[in-house]
């Protein structure tokens, strides 16, 4: 068990900087998820923690010791790979015990640890099979078993679920969470899937272009994103961004999104936004669940407006409507009971209590 610390970690490949100075403190027992689009440096960061990539600059500490020059085998880590990387010529038991056998653990202890891990992952029956005879989900369990058996200081997961189909992915996600709740090992988990990040993490680290955009618990990232990137990346369907301007009419602060449409800013937000220069180009950020049908949301918090949806997506428990407004395509979420038709006008309402106002040029959330 150990904490992991990254100090100004940089990774350079010839000309390109893949990771540009990352600071990260992961306390003991924490489950941290690195998430971001492909090429954001998340995998490289993980591989530097594992020792599979050299660190160009900065330091990485595991359990308080700088491990920059420590080879992977001496870092006391275990890693689960995207394609599982099971040794095809070994049985499940041999796969799981390979690391222990290399370290010359006593046979009895190896057997006990393997049995225990197999029981925890519910793969006791598969113990003598070869990887080829296993399904994707079973291979995934074996790969995790191989990590658990070692009882390492840190678990590293590199997109472990992306080779599974959608249903199995949900199932294994729960499995991983359960295992972590049992063994409480410090875990760094890399994924490009924000749903995985939200569901698994104690804290999520959103990365983009080799930098950390924001670190925080899942709900904080969702409700209080710090940048446009985080706001747009977390949440599905993604947050809508509408070009807008602040204006004051009759002592009332409001956002104008088009010639025709302007919404008054809620009282509790006025103080926060009043200082923004009026000529700043702004974006109004609204999640789909805050663009709703006017019929079932009639309280004072909601500002009604008219729109003509061009695509309707009924999902069962909710219905998404896509409609143009102020030159951009927006997505709203309406009550599935509402009769909506593509091309037919629909009365919608916006919940400005959950609005975000962003600086278009800098991407900062104001």
Partner 1 sequence: MTTVTLDKAGPSRKVGSMSSDRKWAMRWSYVFLTLFAIFFLFPPIYMFITSLKTSSEISAATNPWWVYNPTLSNYIELLTSNQFLTFFKNSALVSIFVVTITMLISIPAAFALARMRFWGSTTLATGVFLTYLIPDTLLFIPLFKMFATFAQWTGIELINHWWVLIFVYPTLTVPFCTWIMIGYFASIPKELDEAAIVDGASWLQTLLRIFVPVALPGIIAATIFAFTVSWAQFLYPLAFTSSVDQQVLPTGIITTLIKGDVFNWGQIMTGALLGAAPPLIIYAFLMDYYISGLTAGATKG
Nearer to partner 1, 69 or 339 (CB): 69
Asked whether position 81 contacts partner 1 by CB under 8 A, the answer is yes
Nearer to partner 1, 56 or 308 (CB): 56
Asked whether position 280 contacts partner 1 by CB under 8 A, the answer is no
Stretch that binds partner 1, among 17-25, 50-58, 180-188, 334-342 (CB under 8 A): 50-58
Asked whether position 40 contacts partner 1 by CB under 8 A, the answer is no
CA-atom Rg of the chain in angstroms: 25
Residue 9 beta carbon to partner 1: minimum distance, rounded to whole angstroms: 19
Among 56, 82, 280, 308, binds partner 1 (CB under 8 A): 82
Q: Please give the residues from 95 up to 124 whose contact with partner 1 meets the rule CB under 8 A.
A: 98-99, 102-103
Stretch that binds partner 1, among 86-94, 172-180, 250-258, 265-273 (CB under 8 A): 86-94
Nearer to partner 1, 6 or 78 (CB): 78
Reading the block at residue 306, the tokens are 């008219």
Please write down the HEC assignment for all residues of the chain: CCCEEEEEEEEEECCEEEEEEEEEEECCCCEEEEECCCCCCHHHHHHHHHCCCCCCEEEEEECCEECCCCCHHHCCEEEECCCCCCCCCCCHHHHHHHHHHHCCCCHHHHHHHHHHHHHHHCCHHHCCCCHHHCCHHHHHHHHHHHHHHCCCCEEEEECCCCCCCHHHHHHHHHHHHHHHHHHCCEEEEEECCHHHHHHHCCEEEEEECCEEEEEECHHHHHHCCCEHHHHHHCCCCCCEEEEEEEEEECCEEEEECCCCCEEECCHHHHHHHCCCCCCCCEEEEECHHHEEECCCCCCCCEEEEEECCCEEEECCCCEEEEEEECCEEEEEEECCCCCCCCCCCEEEEEEHHHCEEEECCCCEEC
Q: Site map for partner 1, 183-222, x if CB under 8 A?
A: ----------------------------------------
Among 18, 40, 78, 164, binds partner 1 (CB under 8 A): 78
Among 146, 290, 333, 356, binds partner 1 (CB under 8 A): 146
Asked whether position 85 contacts partner 1 by CB under 8 A, the answer is yes
Asked whether position 68 contacts partner 1 by CB under 8 A, the answer is no
Helix axes 166-183 and 107-121, enclosed angle (nearest 10): 130
Among 150, 256, 333, 356, binds partner 1 (CB under 8 A): 150
Task: Give 131's Cβ-side CA count (13 Å radius).
Answer: 19
Q: Please give the residues from 167 up to 186 whose contact with partner 1 meets the rule CB under 8 A.
A: none
Q: Please give the residues from 233 up to 262 whose contact with partner 1 meets the rule CB under 8 A.
A: none
Q: Cα–Cα distance between 142 and 139 in angstroms, integer?
A: 5
Nearer to partner 1, 98 or 322 (CB): 98
- For residues 252 and 246, the answer to whether their CB atoms sit within 8 Å is no
Residue 78 beta carbon to partner 1: minimum distance, rounded to whole angstroms: 7
Asked whether position 77 contacts partner 1 by CB under 8 A, the answer is yes
Stretch that binds partner 1, among 30-38, 80-88, 344-352, 357-365 (CB under 8 A): 80-88
Stretch that binds partner 1, among 20-28, 46-54, 225-233, 255-263 (CB under 8 A): 46-54
Q: Please give the residues from 17 up to 36 whose contact with partner 1 meets the rule CB under 8 A.
A: none
Chain positions contacting partner 1, by CB under 8 A = 50-52, 71-73, 77-79, 81-89, 98-99, 102-103, 146, 150
């Amino acid at each position: 068990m150990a904490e992991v610390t990254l100090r100004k970690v940089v990774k350079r490949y010839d000309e390109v900087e893949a990771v540009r100075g990352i600071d990260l403190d992961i306390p003991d027992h924490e489950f941290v998820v690195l998430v971001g689009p492909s090429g954001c440096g998340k995998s490289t960061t993980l591989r530097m923690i594992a020792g599979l990539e050299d660190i160009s600059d900065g330091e990485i500490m595991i359990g308080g010791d700088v491990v920059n020059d420590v080879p992977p085998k001496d870092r006391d880590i275990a890693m689960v790979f995207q394609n599982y990387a099971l040794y095809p010529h070994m049985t499940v038991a041999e796969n799981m015990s390979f690391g222990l056998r290399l370290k010359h653990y006593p046979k009895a202890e190896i057997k006990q640890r393997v049995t225990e891990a197999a029981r925890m992952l519910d793969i006791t029956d598969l113990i003598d099979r070869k990887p080829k005879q296993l399904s994707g989900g079973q291979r995934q369990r074996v790969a995790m078993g191989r990590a658990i058996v070692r009882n390492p200081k840190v678990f590293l997961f590199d997109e472990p679920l992306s080779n599974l189909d959608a249903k199995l992915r949900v199932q294994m996600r729960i499995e991983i969470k359960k295992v972590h709740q049992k063994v409480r090992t410090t875990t760094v988990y890399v994924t490009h899937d924000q749903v995985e990040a939200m569901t698994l993490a104690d804290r999520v680290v959103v990365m983009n272009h080799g930098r950390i955009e924001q670190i925080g618990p899942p709900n904080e990232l969702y409700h209080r994103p710090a940048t446009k990137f985080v706001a747009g990346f977390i949440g599905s369907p993604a947050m809508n961004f509408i070009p807008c301007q602040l204006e004051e009419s009759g002592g009332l602060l409001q956002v104008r999104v088009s010639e025709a449409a302007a919404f008054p800013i809620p009282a509790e937000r006025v103080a926060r936004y009043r200082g923004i220069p009026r000529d700043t180009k702004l974006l109004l950020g609204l999640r789909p669940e805050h663009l709703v049908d006017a019929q079932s949301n009639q309280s004072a918090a909601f500002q009604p407006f008219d729109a003509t949806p061009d695509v309707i997506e009924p999902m069962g428990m909710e219905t998404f409507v896509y409609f143009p407004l102020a030159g951009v395509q927006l997505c709203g979420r309406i009550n599935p009971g509402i009769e909506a038709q593509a091309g037919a006008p629909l009365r919608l309402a916006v919940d400005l209590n959950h609005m975000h106002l962003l600086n278009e040029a800098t991407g900062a959330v104001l």
